[in-house]
Chains A and B, each alone.
Chain A
Amino acid sequence: QSALTQPASVSGSPGQSITISCTGTSSDVGSYNLVSWYQQHPGKAPKLMIYEGSKRPSGVSNRFSGSKSGNTASLTISGLQAEDEADYYCCSYAGSVFGGGTKLTVL
């Protein structure tokens, strides 16, 4: 299984919305497999933000949402806040393969 492709970095200003993409193939993201998304602050363990493509665990802000189109899954963060600055990773059910990670900078 090949790693999923994410942009190395994205940025946005407080209050804005940003979207992080996670591109796979028809064998993983594009099939019936649904991705999960994780947030990781420096020196901390990853935290589950989205599972089954679009579901939020209890306690995760509704500013975080997930979607999928074709071979690409997306994580959207609306109303950007300073505390959202972190690395974000997607993970596909197929082979439990992670994306390379995206560094989100809040300007």
Chain B
Amino acid sequence: QVQLQESGPGLVKPSQTLSLTCTVSGGSISSGSYYWSWIRQPAGKGLEWIGRIYTSGSTNYNPSLKSRVTISVDTSKNQFSLKLSSVTAADTAVYYCARESSSSWANWFDPWGQGTLVTVSS
């Protein structure tokens, strides 16, 4: 079965760029009609969808983060990545990657990675 694993620095300085990678195992990132998404969760708070990418390279981003987010995919490595620029303390959160499925009227995230905590601090 497909499994996802996030990796990247756990500490980022304010104003710098947060960079995370999600490695997909147990299946090809290019197989099936799936999107690959990033979702985050500040401590003690709810979930926030950041954005998604299709293996063709097409992307969609949360309008509230769009100006700072870039999601890319490397099919040769079975990975997709997140870059969030100009970070502040408000970007401190657990970041999850997830596979996203969709139908005509719905989407859903399954499976999820275990999550990685990123702290923005000097």
Contacts and interface: CB of A to CB of B under 8 A. Distances in A.
B109 interface: yes
Contacts of B37: 96
Contact of B106 (A46, A53, A95, A98): A53
Nearest to A53: B106
B46 A93 contact: no
Given A45-B96, A46-B96, A52-B105, A89 B110 contact: no
A99 B112 contact: no
Contacts of A93: 102, 105-107
B88 to A, nearest CB: 21
B112 A45 contact: yes
A98 B110 contact: no
Nearest to A4: B46
B49 A97 contact: yes
Most buried by A among B37, B49, B113: B49
A52 B96 contact: no
A53 to B, nearest CB: 7
Interface in A13-49: 32-36, 38, 44-48
Contacts of A52: 103, 105-106, 108
Interface of A: 1, 3, 32-36, 38, 44-48, 51-53, 57, 89, 91, 93, 95-101
